Amino acid sequence: MKSELGGEKMTLIEFYPMLRVGSNGWEPDVDIFETKDGFVISAELPGLKKEDFDLTLDDDNLTLEGEKKREDKNDNQKLGERKFGKFSRSFVIPDSANLKKIRTSFKDGLLKVSIPKSEVVKEREIKVHFK
């Protein structure tokens, strides 16, 4: 399936994530889905609260940035696998999106961004009838 999400003539499967902005070793894991009616971006933000990150829209760029701070610094630590630090992820939003109707939710460390397609795009579906 072709998609405008991420740029011209890019397929969704081949180009995830569409645009990455560097971080210091930690980026939230993200899933992106396209449905008939829109796009859904889900980002895992474990251990973060709403005030720990920002979600901004600038023209057609949706940017998620923030910081996961280490609260339990311990000089006796023997193993450290959890990742901390500042992060930033950006995504190019397609022209077919209705930016005025973007909806977000954040629960249990999961940020969900729902971006509907404009009504004009949804109505472009053409049915072909065979004789």
CB 30 within 8 A of CB 42: yes
Question: Does 125 map to a domain?
Answer: no
**Phi/psi at 51 (5° precision):** -75, -5
Question: Does 127 map to a domain?
Answer: no
Question: Does 128 map to a domain?
Answer: no
CB 28 within 8 A of CB 89: yes
Residue 131: the pLDDT is: 76
Question: Does 108 map to a domain?
Answer: yes
Q: Determine the Cα–Cα distance for residues 10 and 2; give it in Å rounded to an integer.
A: 7
Q: Is the pTM of this model over 0.75?
A: no
Question: Does 124 map to a domain?
Answer: no
The whole domain housing 20 covers 2-70+84-119
For 16-25, write each residue's pLDDT tens digit: 444 444 445 6
Confidence band of 10 (pLDDT split at 50, 70, 90): very low
CB 10 within 8 A of CB 69: no
Question: Does 77 map to a domain?
Answer: no
Q: Which residue has the higher pLDDT, 4 or 127?
A: 127
For 60-91, write each residue's pLDDT tens digit: 899 999 999 887 777 788 888 888 899 999 99
CATH number at residue 108: 2.60.40.790
For 82-119, write each residue's pLDDT tens digit: 888 999 999 998 888 999 999 999 999 999 999 999 88
Residue 25: the pLDDT is: 63
Question: Does 75 map to a domain?
Answer: no
In which residue are the tokens 């053409």 written? Answer: 126
Q: Determine the Cα–Cα distance for residues 22 and 62; give it in Å rounded to an integer.
A: 15
Total domains, the chain: 1
Question: Does 41 map to a domain?
Answer: yes
**pLDDT greater than 60 at residue 31:** yes
